[in-house]
Amino acid sequence: MNFELNEEQQMIRQAARDYAQRELIKDVIERDEKAIYPAEHIKKLSELGFLGMLVDPKYDGGGMDTVSYVLAIEEFSKVDSSIGVIISVNNSLVCYGIESFGTEEQKQKWLKPLARGEKIGAFLLSEPGAGSDATSQKTTAIDMGDYYLVNGVKNWITNGNSASTYIVIVQTHKEKGHKGINALLVDKYSPGITVGVHENKMGMRSSDTHSIQFTDVKVPKENRLGDDGFGFKFAMKTLEGGRIGIASQALGLASGAFELATKYAKERKAFGTEIINHQAIAFKLADMATEIEAARLLCLKAAWLKDKGLPFGNASAMAKLYAADTAMKVTTEAVQIHGGYGYVKEYHVERMMRDAKLTQIYEGTSEIQKIVISRAIANDDL
Amino acid sequence: MKILVCISNVPDTTTKIKFTDKQTRFDPTGVQWIINPWDELALSRSVDLKEDSSNPVSEITVINVGTSETEPTLRKCLAIGADKAIRIDSEPKDAFFTAQQIANYVQKESFEFVVFGIESGDYNGSSVGGMVAEILGVPSVSSVSDIKFNGSSATIERDVDGGKEYMQVQGTTVIVVQKGFAKEPRIPNMRGIMMARQKPLEVLAAIDSELLTEIIEFNLPEPKAKVKMIDPDNLQELVALLSKEAKVL
Amino acid sequence: MSVLVYIENFGGKLKKQNFELASFASKLAESTNSTAKALVLGTINNAEIEKLNQFGIEKIIKVEGESFNIRINKVFTQVIEEVVLKENVSMVLFPDNNTGKALAPRLSVRLRAGFVSGVVSLPESYNPFIIIKRAFSGKAFAKVKINTPTKILSLAINSFGLHEKPVTLKIEYFETQVSFADVPIKMVERKVSENKVSLFDADIVVSGGRGMRGPENWKPLEDLATVLGAATACSRPVSDDGWRSHDEHVGQTGKIIAPNLYIAVGISGATQHVAGVSRSKCLVAINTDSDAPIFEVANYGILGDVQKILPKLTEAFKAFKGD
Ligand SMILES: Cc1cc2nc3c(=O)[nH]c(=O)nc-3n(C[C@H](O)[C@H](O)[C@H](O)COP(=O)(O)OP(=O)(O)OC[C@H]3O[C@@H](n4cnc5c(N)ncnc54)[C@H](O)[C@@H]3O)c2cc1C
Ligand SMILES: Cc1cc2nc3c(=O)[nH]c(=O)nc-3n(C[C@H](O)[C@H](O)[C@H](O)COP(=O)(O)OP(=O)(O)OC[C@H]3O[C@@H](n4cnc5c(N)ncnc54)[C@H](O)[C@@H]3O)c2cc1C
């Protein structure tokens, strides 16, 4: 048992913290308010190597471990969780999916530019009628010999417009149910793809979320990830890793809000003393700190298992479930501790509270995480 | 062209300063150590210069006189972009001792530029750079805020009272840099952090040197009297206090 | 024995800091039964340097010649060394500014004499020689012992003040053996504005932070500075964001100053900022946030919006000056 971070992990955390505290903080309120995609920051962060930090250096990635990844996403999300999700989707859904299940040619062609951050990736699973129930895919890919003909609509797609590499989950053999599903690598600029309007969201407003329409899009067969029918398994496996990213994002929201609330509680006076001296406030902070620490340990444990090559699906589900609920609770309390000031944009915590809500929804709602965990319990698989 | 950047390892700028052993030693408990901010600027700009291929900079070495505890700081320098790190294995006992160690290394290796930050955040000595120059018998330029290359010759901008002077130098030169030399410290990138693993960090034994000075005790400043708040509608009161009580007008 | 003070030549003029150094040197001389002497290089009128007689300087060694109007550290150090040896000097005093920082360490090596920078008061004892300097960017002081017979000190500006002591003074011209010829360094250009009050010299500094809300709002701050004859300064983010020029940045990573009066306008008082101004004799803070840390280090505080306070403050000072 060893809870110490190694020197490299500390260096990465510091690099992410420096960038967040020095650069992201400057315009985060404006980006949220006007729903501006942080293109400049993403460019700089890709130069720093964060967009492909988990990818093997052989494919132009940073070659860092998942523990470092948790630390980096936490630091970014403390200040701007939209940045957290953009990096998370690129790294742990798109890059991870290709690196784990793609062929050598696919890695050379698709993974390298993603790892360098020259291209951004998106993961297209959800549909208007298929969210939690990802098996009921309506988007079809008909086998036309040497290509697939893709038709359908995906929605809620993070990086939908900014990405140029899509991994699209499609139904090829309807009769086989989820065993007929495939995952295809698709270039956003292929004829027949239309990017829908930018969703006007409650939170996470500077990440771009779009619906994507496919009309007779021809996708070469060599773009299929894995064997025919591997798509559903691909999606589930990839999401297991993705959840570590979202859990870390939630962790960052919680720890960022906690830091702000603590600072405020030490400065703000009411009834003749700093409000941290009122037990009701102090105990809130004690609960927050404890829950954040628990969430952090769950995130790091899942990351550690993944780095060791051990099964981590249950651990990442627990981390995501707990960190997301913690984010929601802690950000809400942080607003409460700020009183009226917490309700205005200048103090950051109201944005964090809005952002936090999403962590309980995407990449598997909290309910779905409980399904994953409870099934593992039922199957004696925990 | 080779550049040597001298690095001191100092407490983070927000550290609450405390002392131990009857006030004779800085108390390092709980302190986060960083690259001295000016040294970090010196290194960052050196790396920028090297990355721009129109400049003649070919190699950047960093050197620190310190115990093994400073190695994380040196590895961060490697991650930022130094090619090689040297640690002279000794406490930096005083400025002259430290300067002797660095000068000794420079004599063996030959560098065109030996770069220092204007002071270190701990003992605020502002001495080592000038001392190294004198030991080596080479020119030094201090309060440097910019450097430009023109072929193999370099023009250095230095701050002087009321403005700037531009100096042309040749051969080994010590430059002592200040704010402005780099806009901001560089954040190490993943590639840099990864490569830092493989870059050399050499540990060399210290040479003997006399100590010209010794620190015998530290003290914290007297606690300040509580601020006196002035009514914004009665600013004459402030004027009166400044002239009669504080006597600063 | 003698104490030698290096008098920086500011384009043919002396400044208050020269007189402060002279005062300090003459106190050192008094305590050690020696003579306070000053060294001046370059072009400057005798009438100007004779003013040093008011502060206890009995002899000035003058090294003339236009080539000494540009400071070449290596050459200057050798000249100082020659004078030190000739005049039987036991203590050499420099200002703790760019010039002192450039010359004193070099001299320390040439003479194998211990050097203490940023000295803030007279020695605690002369034998052993123990003196106090600033450390940890103003967050602490260190007592340092010098082990060598000759001592070199640089004095933190505005830490000692002026102490008048009129004496008779003589000027002696010194012909140096040192030459510039073999030093591979030359000045190619110079840009100086003579009339701007330098931050280091200003008795009063008015400084703006992010609370000024943008470069377009600086007029009232400049008006206040004009009325007070003050220099203007700023916090680091203000210069980083290009609201004001980098020369104005004060703090741990900018200029470290010690005016008599520092007025912090819309500055939160981060530890790195305070490190650069904590030796000010008196600190006034204007801020809308009663919890801003600047109020913990200020002598006087005004709670309020800078845009409302500044014009009123300017009026109040105008009225005072008018009296
Ligand atoms: C901003 C944003 C970005 C997104 N980014 C992406 C993306 O990049 N790629 C992508 O593919 N998708 C993305 N999504 C989609 C997201 O993953 C889905 O919204 C999520 O999986 C939930 O699906 P749904 O919205 O259809 O809700 P539903 O599945 O309809 O769920 C509605 C409610 O029912 C509950 N529920 C459903 N089934 C069960 C059950 N069996 N037992 C108990 N409760 C149940 C859910 O937990 C939820 O509370 C994004 C969503 C948003 C809002
Ligand atoms: C290694 C390092 C070195 C650093 N070095 C320095 C340095 O040398 N110098 C330096 O200054 N900083 C330095 N910093 C930065 C420092 O930490 C602070 O970020 C900085 O000093 C804050 O500047 P500020 O006070 O102008 O801005 P803020 O901290 O944003 O403060 C603005 C203040 O203005 C007040 N305000 C807002 N509106 C009004 C109004 N209308 N009227 C009145 N008041 C108002 C606010 O209440 C607040 O207190 C350094 C940081 C690091 C990490």
Tell me if B168 and C186 make a contact (CB, 8 A cut-off). Answer: yes
Give me the residue from C10, C74, C194 closest to B139, CB to CB.
Answer: C74
Q: What is the pLDDT of residues B2-61, one digit of tens each?
A: 999 999 999 998 899 999 999 999 999 999 999 999 999 999 999 999 999 999 999 999
Active site residue A4: no
The DSSP 8-state label assigned to residue A300 in this structure reads H
A129 alpha carbon to ligand 1 midpoint, in Å?
A: 10
Question: Residue C9 contacts by C-beta under 8 Å, 6 or more apart in sequence?
Answer: C40, C41, C42, C43, C44, C68, C69
CATH architecture for segment(s) A121-231:
Beta Barrel (2.40)
C169 and C208 fall within a common domain:
no
C132 and C249 fall within a common domain:
no
Domain-ending residue, one of C133, C150, C173: C173
Q: What is the pLDDT of residues A181-201, one digit of tens each?
A: 999 999 999 999 999 999 999
Residue B163 has pLDDT above 90, yes or no: no
Instruction: Pull the structure tokens for residue C110.
Output: 């040439």
Question: Residue B33 contacts by C-beta under 8 Å, 6 or more apart in sequence?
Answer: B9, B10, B11, B12, B69, B70, B72, B73
C20 and C151 fall within a common domain:
yes
Residue closest via CA to ligand 2's atom 47 equals: C289
C102 and C221 fall within a common domain:
no
Q: Indicate the top mutation candidate among C199, C210, C257 to test ligand 2's pocket, ranked by most ligand atoms within 8 A of CB.
A: C210
C292 alpha carbon to ligand 2 midpoint, in Å?
A: 10
In a domain, C197, yes or no: no
The pLDDT assigned to A334 comes to: 98
Tell me if C142 and B140 make a contact (CB, 8 A cut-off). Answer: no
On the CB side of C1, CA atoms within 13 Å amount to 16
CB B70 within 8 A of CB B87: yes
By percentage, how much of chain A surpasses pLDDT 90?
A: 97
Report the distance separating Cα A82 and Cα A362, nearest Å: 13
In a domain, C292, yes or no: yes
Pocket lined around ligand 2, Cβ cut-off 6 Å = B 13, 37; C 209-211, 235-238, 251-254, 266-268, 270, 272-273, 276, 286-289, 292, 305-306
Domain span including residue C258:
204-321
Report the distance separating Cα C212 and Cα A237, nearest Å: 53
Q: Touching check for A267 and chain C: CB below 8 Å?
A: yes
Instruction: Please identify among residues 26-55 of chain C the ones whose CB lies closer than 8 Å to any CB of chain A.
Output: none
Residue of C41, C275, C114 whose CA lies nearest to B131: C114
In a domain, C198, yes or no: no
Chain C: partners with 3+ C-beta pairs within 8 Å = A, B
Q: For residue A331, give the H/E element and its range.
A: helix A313-338
Report the distance separating Cα A43 and Cα A26, nearest Å: 16
Could you tell me the mean pLDDT of each successive run of 10 residues in chain A, 382 residues long? 93 97 95 97 96 96 97 98 97 96 98 96 96 93 96 97 97 94 98 95 97 98 97 95 96 98 92 95 98 98 97 97 98 97 96 98 96 96 86
Report the distance separating Cα A187 and Cα A164, nearest Å: 6
Q: Touching check for C323 and chain A: CB below 8 Å?
A: no
Chain B: partners with 3+ C-beta pairs within 8 Å = A, C
Q: Any bridge partners for residue B97, and if so which?
A: none
C286 and C163 fall within a common domain:
no
The pLDDT assigned to C108 comes to: 98
Q: What is the pLDDT of residues B169-211, one digit of tens each?
A: 988 999 999 888 998 899 999 999 999 989 999 999 999 999 9
Report the distance separating Cα C252 and Cα C98, nearest Å: 15
> How many independent structural domains does chain C possess?
2
Helix (H, G, I), strand (E, B) or coil at A198: strand
Q: What are phi and psi of C303, to 5 degrees?
A: -90, 115
Which ligand is closest to the CA of A203, given by its number?
1
Give me the residue from A7, A19, A57 closest to B187, CB to CB.
Answer: A19
- Closest chain A C-alpha to C242 CA, distance in angstroms: 14
Tell me if B197 and A8 make a contact (CB, 8 A cut-off). Answer: yes
The pLDDT assigned to A267 comes to: 85
The pLDDT assigned to B110 comes to: 87
The pLDDT assigned to B121 comes to: 80
Residue of B87, B61, B109 whose CA lies nearest to B8: B87
C26 and C127 fall within a common domain:
yes
At residue C196 the predicted structure's pLDDT band, cuts being 50, 70 and 90, is low
Tell me if C98 and B179 make a contact (CB, 8 A cut-off). Answer: no
C165: left (phi over 0), alpha (psi -120 to 50) or beta: beta
pTM of the model: 0.90
Instruction: Pull the structure tokens for residue A26.
Output: 């400057």
Q: What is the pLDDT of residues C252-285, one digit of tens each?
A: 888 999 999 999 999 999 999 999 999 999 999 9
The distance from CA C294 to its chain's CA centroid, rounded to whole angstroms, is 24
CA distances from C66 to B15, C71, C121, C180, C193 (A): 47, 11, 35, 12, 19
The mean per-residue pLDDT over the stretch C228-235 comes to: 95
The pLDDT assigned to A1 comes to: 82
A157 alpha carbon to ligand 1 midpoint, in Å?
A: 12
The DSSP 8-state label assigned to residue A163 in this structure reads -
Q: For residue C191, give the H/E element and its range.
A: strand C185-192
By C-alpha distance, the chain C residue nearest A266 is: C291
Report the distance separating Cα A247 and Cα A299, nearest Å: 6
The pLDDT assigned to B230 comes to: 96
Residue C166 has pLDDT above 70, yes or no: yes
Catalytic option among A75, A99, A199, A363: A363
Question: How much is the mean pLDDT over chain B?
Answer: 94
By percentage, how much of chain C surpasses pLDDT 90?
A: 88
Residue closest via CA to ligand 1's atom 14 equals: A156
- Where are the domains positioned within chain A? 7-115, 121-231, 239-378
The pLDDT assigned to A256 comes to: 98
The pLDDT assigned to C194 comes to: 66
Q: What is the pLDDT of residues B124-141, one digit of tens each?
A: 888 999 999 999 999 999
Report the distance separating Cα B83 and Cα A201, nearest Å: 47
Q: What is the pLDDT of residues B221-240, one digit of tens each?
A: 888 889 999 999 999 999 99
C208 alpha carbon to ligand 2 midpoint, in Å?
A: 9
C22 and C142 fall within a common domain:
yes
Q: What is the CATH number of domain A239-378?
A: 1.20.140.10
Q: Touching check for C291 and chain A: CB below 8 Å?
A: yes
B226 alpha carbon to ligand 2 midpoint, in Å?
A: 21
Domain-ending residue, one of C157, C173, C189: C173
Residue C195 has pLDDT above 80, yes or no: no
Q: Which domains does chain B have, with CATH numbers?
A: 2-222 (3.40.50.620)
Instruction: Tell which CATH classification among 1.10.150.80, 3.20.20.370, 1.10.540.10, 1.10.1130.10 matches the domain A7-115.
Output: 1.10.540.10
